[in-house]
């Protein structure tokens, strides 16, 4: 919660106004309808990709804690992680920029976005990227009662499994930088072994312009960084080539989260 408050202050400072406490990584969309019972379907939808199963993913390093936000500082790799929501055309443009640079990213998808844009699961996985869970409706999960938090996680997990055959390895809480004890318990209950935080916030959701996003990332990135970024913002797409070029000049590779922690 401390991290979240700091992030909100950064966001408000970037916006130059003390606005409402809208989601720190929201795209401006309104909260979805009330949580319903989790969909337990496990059959991948026709025409969609099947994600690599757990055995096919890179084996994670032994001894990783439940909550992780920084990779090893001794390897020349970083994980660019994206909130998965927003205009699919912007998301497709971002994936195209990643492909041009042969970069791999991790998308923590919002379940309601996948409800509306199921084809995006296919496009993300076919690019060699990784797909994880960022709750069903992206409401403030830290403020929810245990069962409501569980439904947020489980509904998105069910959607991921329906579309790809797997729930994804990573869970990231919505509107929070890290998991509270309650959210962590519900994530475990939904089958997740890790809560994925981050150590570098690009602040791209404040739409400060691509140059500012690029500076924020390249001024602070280090080997092992987990960078928080977002689909749905044109400035993020415009900034990505310069970010990837800057990482390359520093000898850093953009890899999936599983590769970073393997």
Among 41-55, 69-83, 118-132, 198-212, name the one with the lowest average pLDDT. Answer: 41-55
Of the pLDDT bands very low, low, confident and very high (cuts 50, 70, 90), residue 31 is very low
Find the helix or strand (DSSP H, E) in which 214 lies: helix 210-220
Q: Contact 134/156 with Cβ under 8 angstroms?
A: yes
Our measurement of the distance from residue 91's CA atom to the centroid of its chain's CA atoms, rounded to an integer in Å, reads: 13
The packing angle between helices 88-100 and 234-249, to 10°, is 20
In the chain, DSSP assigns E strands to 67-68, 77-84, 106-109, 130-133, 195-196, 200-201, 226-230, 253-254
Confidence of residue 14 (pLDDT cuts 50, 70, 90): very low
Helices and strands in the chain: count of H runs, count of E runs: 9, 8
Query: What average pLDDT does the segment 137-165 reach?
Result: 96
Query: pLDDT tens across 41-80, in order?
Result: 334 443 444 445 555 788 898 889 999 999 999 999 999 9
pTM here? 0.81
Rounded distance between C-alpha atoms, residue 262 and residue 258, angstroms: 6
Q: What is the pLDDT of residue 39?
A: 40
Please say whether the beta carbons of 110 and 136 come within 8 A: yes
What number of other Cβ atoms are within 10 A of residue 65's Cβ? 8
pLDDT band at residue 1 under the 50/70/90 scheme: very low
CA distance 57 to 247: 24
Better-predicted residue by pLDDT, 55 or 14: 55
Residues 6 or more apart from 154 whose CB is under 8 A from it?
38, 189, 190
174-203: average pLDDT: 96
Least Cα distance to 139 among 105, 89, 179, 176 occurs for 176
């Amino acid at each position: 919660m401390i991290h979240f408050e700091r992030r909100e202050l950064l966001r408000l400072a970037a916006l130059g106004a003390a606005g409402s406490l809208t989601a720190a990584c929201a795209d401006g969309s309104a909260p979805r309808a009330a949580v319903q019972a989790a969909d337990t379907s496990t059959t991948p939808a026709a025409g969609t990709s099947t994600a690599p199963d757990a055995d096919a993913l890179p084996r994670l390093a032994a001894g990783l804690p439940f909550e992780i936000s920084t990779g090893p500082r001794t390897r020349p790799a970083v994980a660019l992680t994206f909130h998965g929501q927003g205009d699919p055309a912007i998301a497709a443009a971002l994936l195209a920029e990643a492909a041009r640079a042969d970069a791999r990213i991790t998308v923590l998808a919002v379940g309601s976005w996948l409800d509306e844009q199921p084809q995006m699961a296919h496009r993300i996985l076919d690019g060699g990227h990784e797909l994880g869970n960022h709750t069903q409706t992206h409401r403030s999960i830290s403020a929810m009662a245990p069962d409501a938090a569980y439904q947020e996680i489980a509904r998105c997990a069910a959607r991921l499994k329906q579309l790809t055959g797997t729930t994804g390895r990573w869970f990231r809480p919505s509107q929070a930088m890290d998991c509270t004890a309650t959210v962590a318990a519900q994530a475990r209950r939904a089958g997740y072994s890790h809560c994925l935080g981050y150590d570098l916030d690009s602040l791209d959701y404040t739409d400060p312009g691509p140059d500012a996003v690029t500076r924020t990332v390249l001024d602070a990135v280090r080997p092992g960084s987990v960078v928080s970024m977002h689909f749905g913002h044109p400035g993020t797409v415009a900034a990505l080539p310069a970010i990837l070029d800057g990482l390359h000049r520093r000898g850093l590779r953009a890899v999936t989260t599983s590769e970073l922690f393997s």
